[in-house]
Amino acid sequence: MRSARAALLAFALIGAACRHVPPPPAFVPLPLPRLADCPGSLVPTHDLEGDWVIHERIRVRAGEIDEAYGLVVQKTGPRLVLIALTPFGATAFRLTQIGVEVWSESKLGPAVPVPPENVLRDLHRAHFLATDDPAFEGRSLQRNRDGSILVSAPACGYEATLVPVSVVNPAATD
């Protein structure tokens, strides 16, 4: 009889404990830091001479954001394609520009903290928008002896450093 009471008491205690266990707290993901879109001009692709491939690295810094991408930029005819690779070699995003129209596709979705269009505009500012005005459209340039280019966009709250890796003219390799 004593063992039956002990078993009954144990079941009652276990049952009471199960009824009063609070549910786990809800997981609330924190919003990821993300830069705002930073306006700027693009050179129409028909004004960019020749066909070529550029390999560069870019590092974008702003507050909590410190992102680095490998860039592959290919211009063929009227089409310019920019592919950004993560440090692990995965495609972060891809942009296609024809004329001044741009289509983008992000492989990482909202997890990409740097708007792809900002990267394209910084690339244009550094290489194609030749002007002596250091603050053209709110992006100033600093060209360094090592070939790197610092694009500072204080109105948009970030800096980007472009470092050349290689430039290939496919017509010259034939």
Q: Rounded mean pLDDT of 118-139? A: 83
Nearest to 118 by CA among 89, 142, 85, 151: 151
Report residue 2's pLDDT band, with 50, 70 and 90 as the boundaries.
low
Residue 23 pLDDT: 73
Q: What is the pTM of this model?
A: 0.77
Give the C-alpha separation, 84 to 26, whole Å: 35
Residue 162 has pLDDT above 90, yes or no: yes
- CA-wise closest residue to 152 among 57, 17, 59: 59
The pLDDT of residue 75: 96
Pair 10, 18: CB distance under 8 Å: no
Q: Are 148 and 127 in contact (CB under 8 A)?
A: no
118-127, 132-141, 157-166: which has the minimum mean pLDDT?
132-141
Identify the helix (H) or strand (E) that includes residue 16.
helix 2-19
